[in-house]
Chain A
Amino acid sequence: MEGHLLNWIVFLPAIGAVGCAAAPTRRGIRLVAVVTTGLTMLLSLALFQHFAWWRDGAEAVFGREYGDRLYEVTRIPWIRVGQFQIEYFVGIDGLSFPLVILTTVITFLACVASWNFDEWPIRRGMRGYFVLFLLLETGMLGVFVALDFFLFYVFWELMLLPMYFLIGVWGGPRKEYAAIKFFLYTLAGSVLMLVVLIAFYFKSVAAGLPTLSLIEYATNPAIRAEFARPVPFLFGSWNWPIVMFVFLFIAFAIKVPVVPFHTWLPDAHVEAPTPISMILAGILLKMGGYGLLRISYPILPTAARHETVAFVLASLGVVSILYGALCAMAQRDFKKLVAYSSVSHMGYVLLGTAIMTDAGVQGAMFQMVAHGITSPMAFFLVGVIYDRAHTRDLDRLGGLWLSMPVYGSLATLGFFALLGLPGLCGFIGEVWVLLGTFSAAQEHAWMTWARPMAVLAATGVILTAGYVLWMIQRVYLGPQREELRHLPEATGREVFVLTPLAVLAVALGVLPAHTLFRFMDGTLQNLVSHVAATG
């Protein structure tokens, strides 16, 4: 296992999938899945050893420049056809590390949340469900650790297929529509990414260094020079990096999702079974933001620093924040409300990324992790009610804090974290992004729009408070309804899923630096200065 920790982490779920396929009993299948995800989580915690920066100093851990400190690297040639140099190249740095941990933790909890599979409306195919579930985990982890563009793409597609089936087979009434919508949307983005991949590759060939390494694209001077060379495109007037950037952005924006590419999300969430919603919101959405930070910004800094591009991206971020919040307010379906709140919260990620300052990127990353904690919690909370009351209609719920006090308290905590209450994790990302955006004009004089945008985005906190509190009032407060009076209290398993999330929400909110910032700041600073220096 020595030296292959990361490979084990990525492929252990795939091995577990084989085990699931072979497991003799229904209970065995679940057991294998839970143990596999649990082991993966424990293994991933071992990655902390590399980020003990208080021992070695931040620079020793994160390096001086973007890409010069990677851990658990495995780099071996994979496919060689003629000129093609496709490598199996994985590794982690401060950018991917938090998301790897997030993935293993949320997947484990989602797996525990799947334990009551036998009580689901669709009970057939348990074996298939858990096999796909574990394959999905491999795909997601692969996306976060892949440093070869082709490998990234393969994992990206690998995660798509299990997700399609998980929604399409075990979903709600309109599952086919939702699954196909999700699939086609992501595929449309993938095709654009594929075009960019091939273009990048031929550029590197032109530079004499055929490679698909995402790190070399960003840091190799010869490749950088070739990337910067203008290319006649379409009608001869477009700028190559910008076209590539836009293609990539659309691919990632669909995943984030950014308004107006977001409409797959509410449908997918509403139809997906609860654990799949948790993964979808908790992890899949982060791939968009991660892709922007790993591929778009370091490799195409000139495009990223283009004034119009930055303006459009930041505006889309602000629009997502406000529009998502307004749409959330209009929902009667509890799950759809949470889904739209994701659109709103991920808007901060885009806004923070678009301004590309230290505070902004810190905030964006923190927001991704924080949202990766609060939104699975919220979806699980919705699932708990749905399992009992068989409705998600906000107007038919009420008084649940009285009938289910423990659940009600955990729910309140979760939703206040979602609301962005100080002391809980949702607050930090928002404030960092907002303060960073406002200050961005200080760093980049051309960002004259940054201050008004920060002010506009700040009004989002009012809307967020509005829809969250209104929802809490309709679901948890009020007199008990006769038909809901005897709902059973949260079970031990449910509390087991919710408690770690609640603890994380508090821990990240109270000590953001000690729990998260310290493990990624160095890389993020290198990334920002890399973009600033080369853009």
Chain B
Amino acid sequence: MVSAQETLLVAGLGLPLACFVVLALLGSRLGKPLAGWFAAAGIGASTVLAAIVLYRWYGLGEAGASRGRMEWARIGGVPVTVGIQLDGLSVVMFFMVTLVSTCIFVFSIGYMAGHSDEVDGRSKYARFFAFLSLFCFSMLGLVLSDSLLFLFVFWELVGLCSYFLIGFYFHRRSATDAAIKAFVVNRVGDCGFLVGLMMVAAYLGDFSIDGAAARFRAQWPDGELFTRSFAGVSLATWMGVLLFCGAIGKSAQFPLHVWLPDAMEGPTPVSALIHAATMVAAGVYLVARIFLLLTPGAQAFIAWIGCLTLLIGALIAIVQTDIKRLLAYSTISQLGYMIFGMGVGAWIGALFHLLVHAFFKALMFLGSGQVIEGTHHEQDMRRMGGLIRRMPVTGVTFLVGVLAIAGAGLPGVHVGGKRIGVGGFFSKDEILAVAYQRTLAGDQSPSGDGIVSASEGGRGDGRIESALSGANGALNAHPSVPVPPPRRLPRVLFLVAVAVAYVTPFYMMRGWWMTFMGTPRDEEVYRRAHESSLMYVPLVALAVGTVVAGYAVFRPMVARAAPPGFLVRTFDPEGASGHAESLAQPIAPEVSHALEWYLAPAAFAGMLLAVAIYRRGLDRAARLAARLRPVHAALVNRLYFDAVYHAVFVRGVMVLKSVSCWVDTRIVDGLVNGAGWLVRGASWAAGRVLDRSGVAGSPGAEPEEPAGRVAGAAVFLASVALAAGLWVRGAPAGAFFVLIAVWVLLGIDGIVNDLGRGAIAVADAVRRPQTGRIRHYLLFAAGAAAAGMVLFVIV
């Protein structure tokens, strides 16, 4: 049976799709503002439905709903079902996606009101909202999919929408290049994802997320996944790593992060929705979903990737001058934090950060969109400055975003039992706290409230827990099985993550200050700047959401999405303990504040440094850059990733394709044409030499050529001799084939002549040659050959 929630979610999923279909077919009839409002109404209705589901889920505490599943197809013997993953995580994600989308749709109506919807002078207004709607459908489908295959399907579809929307201004070469880059780079990751799916099909035989996890668990420790290895790494780890490859592409992780900054070619609302809040976070969502398929080895890999990404993103962000690219690199860095959090086992922290980040990053992107639209498409922060006087709402809300990403808060201060801080103050802290325990404190037992036995504490509606319980009845039967501590990760991971927490506030405050404070550096830009009311309503909504919702709403929700006691268990087959599970997140239900005394100062120190440098314009920064020229140059060139990739991969494929084409036309086709020429030449020669009537086109009787006749006779005799030899040696078929082959090569007519000559009289040396039509002989001989061949075959 399909539960009420599922019905509501399916309706919420269907609305954007319906909007897409209507807009795709009738969009141009609806006209300019109407098409946008239509789409916004669709997603708005979805948001309402999502809110109802959320309320029922969390407000009423309804227990796990029944699943309506339908078989979609079978891949060989593996069934693929389609169903809804109904649990806390999907419900919260669904709500977040619809809510942020609604804000951005409304913002887009304002953004597109001017000439921003024009592609090469033609309005593509409906197309924009059609693709936005299709994106919402795909993203919501991704969140709701309960099978990895469907997750992959929607995964590709969001990529498609991203492609179309990055390339929205498709008359610009840079936009289409960026769109292709995004799609192809994502495909590289998806290729790994696909291989991971192959492993899931082959070794687990079940694509449903819960089913796969159960079978994965059942494989341990004797299953093929754990006993076999490739390149020294167990197949189980490979599977996790390969599935994670999808996340590397989509969440712009090192080494596939290069597409995201270029993706800023799209309209700014698209950047806010797809390339900051939702789609790029899908990778984190994927890791959260497949968490139970990750071995410690795979987790360590994920942690390393995340750590490198958060470092690279933050470093490059320092030198960005384009406001959108600055935000893009900061997104990469923040996604790195989330992936890093997943890798170290901070399941809750990473998802918490995902939700909070969706709000504050969408807020900042929309703010930048307001700036860009208000200044008539100026994106260079070096030409801005002082804009807060022209756009106060934008400036202030943007500052809220900056404080949130910086993780600003007041450590140690409680007001009514609550702590004071914004966004990252809580979520980043949580990730880092877990990282601390997994790296520096890894070998010691985590603090008392962390270790809980497997099924202790709390309600039985933990969805991940239920996924495990089926396959692991033994554990449930013995609730007091001690859970061993996780393996320790290298401490450099933690140190880098903390260090970058000092860099983040710096580059964000730098961007804000360059844009909104100081003196205007370009009078023209300053004069044009203005705010549009339709656009700042969503800004205020998101700002309020960032401040209030983060801690008060999302943290408890995510916590409820996880199993009771935050026990997200995972496999540790390689661990010394020999237990099937290790504790992934030994954190108590309350938010950790272990590191708040380190992080809050970091936020303020970073921001103050930025203000100190940029307070009086860009001169001081320029002097600093000159002093650190090699470093600065490397950062400005994005650490040369793009250049190297272009030189190696793009050029490599270009060379490969040229070589293939050359081989095809010169060698493969050359052989074919060569064979054709050979046959023509041979038949010409045979006609010349053996058929004295001459080839077609020279009908006149040619003089006798005794030499040719002698040659023909000699070859004939030689082939007969060879055939006789083979016959004697017991290979009659071989003999036959030699005769046929030699004669065919020499020319059929000659053979016939020779045969005829032998039959009549050898002495008659001056006999006129037979003049037959070569075609008749050819047919006759081919028929005879085929018949003879078959006779020999069956003998």
Instruction: Indicate if the CB atoms of B176 and A473 lie closer than 8 Å.
Output: yes
Instruction: Indicate if the CB atoms of B160 and A432 lie closer than 8 Å.
Output: no
B120 nearest CB across to chain A (Å): 5
Cα–Cα, bound, A198→B786 (Å): 9
B266 nearest CB across to chain A (Å): 14
The contact of A512 among B73, B120, B176, B202, by CB within 8 Å, is B73
Cα–Cα, bound, A264→B673 (Å): 11
Instruction: Indicate if the CB atoms of B657 and A465 lie closer than 8 Å.
Output: no
Please classify how large the interface on chain B is, using the bins under 10, 10 to 19, 20 to 34, 35 or more: 35 or more
The contact of B187 among A362, A402, A409, A462, by CB within 8 Å, is A462
Known: A194-B786, A206-B794, A477-B170. A422 touches B198 (CB 8 A): no
Please give, as numbers and ranges, the residues of chain B lying within 8 Å of A231 by CB-CB distance.
793-794
Instruction: Indicate if the CB atoms of B793 and A439 lie closer than 8 Å.
Output: no
Please give, as numbers and ranges, the residues of chain A lying within 8 Å of B155 by CB-CB distance.
422
Known: A181-B672, A402-B171, A454-B198. A195 touches B790 (CB 8 A): yes
Instruction: Indicate if the CB atoms of A479 and B198 lie closer than 8 Å.
Output: no
Cα–Cα, bound, A461→B794 (Å): 46
Please give, as numbers and ranges, the residues of chain A lying within 8 Å of B669 by CB-CB distance.
263
Instruction: Indicate if the CB atoms of A359 and B75 lie closer than 8 Å.
Output: yes
Instruction: Indicate if the CB atoms of A421 and B156 lie closer than 8 Å.
Output: yes
Instruction: Indicate if the CB atoms of B672 and A439 lie closer than 8 Å.
Output: no
Does B549 reach chain A (CB closer than 8 Å)? no
Known: A458-B191, A458-B195, A478-B176. A234 touches B733 (CB 8 A): yes
The residues in B between 52 and 81 inclusive whose CB is less than 8 angstroms from any CB of A are 71-78
Instruction: Indicate if the CB atoms of B194 and A234 lie closer than 8 Å.
Output: no
Does B625 reach chain A (CB closer than 8 Å)? no
Does A386 reach chain B (CB closer than 8 Å)? no
Stretch at the interface among B293-301, B526-534, B660-668: B660-668
Cα–Cα, bound, A517→B201 (Å): 19
What 1/0 flags go to B754-795 for Cβ under 8 Å of A?
000000000000000000000000000010001101100111
Please give, as numbers and ranges, the residues of chain B lying within 8 Å of A199 by CB-CB distance.
790, 793-794
Instruction: Indicate if the CB atoms of B197 and A435 lie closer than 8 Å.
Output: yes
Cα–Cα, bound, A202→B794 (Å): 7
Known: A236-B731, A461-B190. A358 touches B76 (CB 8 A): yes
Does A480 reach chain B (CB closer than 8 Å)? yes
Cα–Cα, bound, A360→B201 (Å): 13
Cα–Cα, bound, A326→B787 (Å): 43
Which residue on chain B has the smallest CB distance to residue A422? B153
Which residue on chain A has the smallest CB distance to residue B659? A326
Does B730 reach chain A (CB closer than 8 Å)? yes
Does A330 reach chain B (CB closer than 8 Å)? yes
Please give, as numbers and ranges, the residues of chain A lying within 8 Å of B74 by CB-CB distance.
513, 517, 521
Does B199 reach chain A (CB closer than 8 Å)? yes
Does B184 reach chain A (CB closer than 8 Å)? yes
Does A327 reach chain B (CB closer than 8 Å)? yes
Instruction: Indicate if the CB atoms of A513 and B73 lie closer than 8 Å.
Output: yes
Cα–Cα, bound, A438→B204 (Å): 13
Does B623 reach chain A (CB closer than 8 Å)? no
What 1/0 flags go to B170-199 for Cβ under 8 Å of A?
110100110110011001101100110111
Main DSSP-derived SS at the A contact region: helix
Please give, as numbers and ranges, the residues of chain B lying within 8 Å of A359 by CB-CB distance.
75-78
Cα–Cα, bound, A260→B184 (Å): 28
Known: A199-B790, A199-B794, A469-B184. A402 touches B76 (CB 8 A): no
Please give, as numbers and ranges, the residues of chain B lying within 8 Å of A54 by CB-CB distance.
none
Instruction: Indicate if the CB atoms of B198 and A327 lie closer than 8 Å.
Output: no
B72 nearest CB across to chain A (Å): 6
The residues in A between 223 and 239 inclusive whose CB is less than 8 angstroms from any CB of B are 231-236
Known: A263-B672, A422-B156. A434 touches B198 (CB 8 A): yes
Instruction: Indicate if the CB atoms of A263 and B793 lie closer than 8 Å.
Output: no
A137 nearest CB across to chain B (Å): 29
Known: A422-B153, A478-B171. A473 touches B180 (CB 8 A): yes
Cα–Cα, bound, A326→B341 (Å): 40
What 1/0 flags go to A487-504 for Cβ under 8 Å of B?
000000000000000000
Does A380 reach chain B (CB closer than 8 Å)? no
Cα–Cα, bound, A401→B120 (Å): 11
Please give, as numbers and ranges, the residues of chain B lying within 8 Å of A274 by CB-CB distance.
none
Which residue on chain B has the smallest CB distance to residue A184? B676
Cα–Cα, bound, A331→B72 (Å): 38
Which residue on chain B has the smallest CB distance to residue A433? B75
The contact of B653 among A402, A466, A469, A480, by CB within 8 Å, is A466
Which residue on chain B has the smallest CB distance to residue A462? B187
A346 nearest CB across to chain B (Å): 16
The contact of A438 among B120, B199, B660, B737, by CB within 8 Å, is B199
The contact of B657 among A233, A327, A435, A512, by CB within 8 Å, is A327
What 1/0 flags go to A83-118 for Cβ under 8 Å of B?
000000000000000000000000000000000000
Which residue on chain B has the smallest CB distance to residue A358? B76
Please classify how large the interface on chain A is, using the bins under 10, 10 to 19, 20 to 34, 35 or more: 35 or more
Cα–Cα, bound, A321→B269 (Å): 39
Please give, as numbers and ranges, the residues of chain A lying within 8 Å of B163 by CB-CB distance.
469
The residues in A between 404 and 451 inclusive whose CB is less than 8 angstroms from any CB of B are 409, 416, 421-423, 427-428, 431-432, 434-436, 438-439, 441-442
Please give, as numbers and ranges, the residues of chain B lying within 8 Å of A462 by CB-CB distance.
184, 187-188, 191
Please give, as numbers and ranges, the residues of chain A lying within 8 Å of B789 by CB-CB distance.
195
Does B122 reach chain A (CB closer than 8 Å)? yes
Cα–Cα, bound, A399→B122 (Å): 12
Does A240 reach chain B (CB closer than 8 Å)? yes
The residues in B between 720 and 734 inclusive whose CB is less than 8 angstroms from any CB of A are 730-731, 733-734
What 1/0 flags go to B112-142 for Cβ under 8 Å of A?
0000000110100000000000000000000
Cα–Cα, bound, A19→B176 (Å): 51
Does B631 reach chain A (CB closer than 8 Å)? no
Cα–Cα, bound, A357→B201 (Å): 14
The contact of A236 among B77, B156, B730, by CB within 8 Å, is B730
Instruction: Indicate if the CB atoms of A416 and B160 lie closer than 8 Å.
Output: yes
Instruction: Indicate if the CB atoms of A439 and B76 lie closer than 8 Å.
Output: yes
Instruction: Indicate if the CB atoms of A436 and B188 lie closer than 8 Å.
Output: no
B124 nearest CB across to chain A (Å): 9
Instruction: Indicate if the CB atoms of B790 and A202 lie closer than 8 Å.
Output: yes
Please give, as numbers and ranges, the residues of chain A lying within 8 Å of B409 by CB-CB distance.
none
Does B167 reach chain A (CB closer than 8 Å)? yes
Please give, as numbers and ranges, the residues of chain B lying within 8 Å of A262 by CB-CB distance.
668
Please give, as numbers and ranges, the residues of chain B lying within 8 Å of A220 by CB-CB distance.
none
B176 nearest CB across to chain A (Å): 5
The contact of A478 among B170, B190, B201, B653, by CB within 8 Å, is B170
Please give, as numbers and ranges, the residues of chain B lying within 8 Å of A120 by CB-CB distance.
none
Please give, as numbers and ranges, the residues of chain A lying within 8 Å of B78 by CB-CB distance.
359, 435, 439
What 1/0 flags go to A460-487 for Cβ under 8 Å of B?
0111011001100100011110000000
Cα–Cα, bound, A466→B669 (Å): 25
Cα–Cα, bound, A479→B73 (Å): 43
B505 nearest CB across to chain A (Å): 38
The residues in A between 316 and 359 inclusive whose CB is less than 8 angstroms from any CB of B are 323, 326-327, 329-331, 357-359
Does A294 reach chain B (CB closer than 8 Å)? no
Instruction: Indicate if the CB atoms of A323 and B199 lie closer than 8 Å.
Output: no
Instruction: Indicate if the CB atoms of B171 and A469 lie closer than 8 Å.
Output: no
Does B495 reach chain A (CB closer than 8 Å)? no
27 contacts between A and B (CB under 8 A): A194-B786, A195-B786, A231-B793, A233-B793, A236-B730, A236-B731, A262-B668, A323-B664, A327-B657, A330-B661, A358-B76, A359-B75, A402-B119, A402-B120, A421-B157, A422-B152, A423-B153, A427-B156, A431-B194, A438-B198, A454-B195, A455-B195, A469-B163, A477-B167, A478-B171, A513-B72, A513-B74
- Residues on B close to A: CB < 8 A? 24, 71-78, 119-120, 122, 149, 152-157, 160, 163, 167, 170-171, 173, 176-177, 179-180, 183-184, 187-188, 190-191, 194-195, 197-199, 201-202, 653, 656-658, 660-661, 664, 668-669, 672, 676, 730-731, 733-734, 737, 782, 786-787, 789-790, 793-795
4 closest pairs, A vs B, by CB?
A: A359-B76, A330-B661, A438-B198, A422-B153
Q: A236-B734, A327-B657 are in contact. List 9 more A-B contacts (CB 8 A).
A: A184-B676, A235-B733, A327-B664, A329-B653, A330-B661, A421-B157, A458-B194, A478-B176, A480-B171
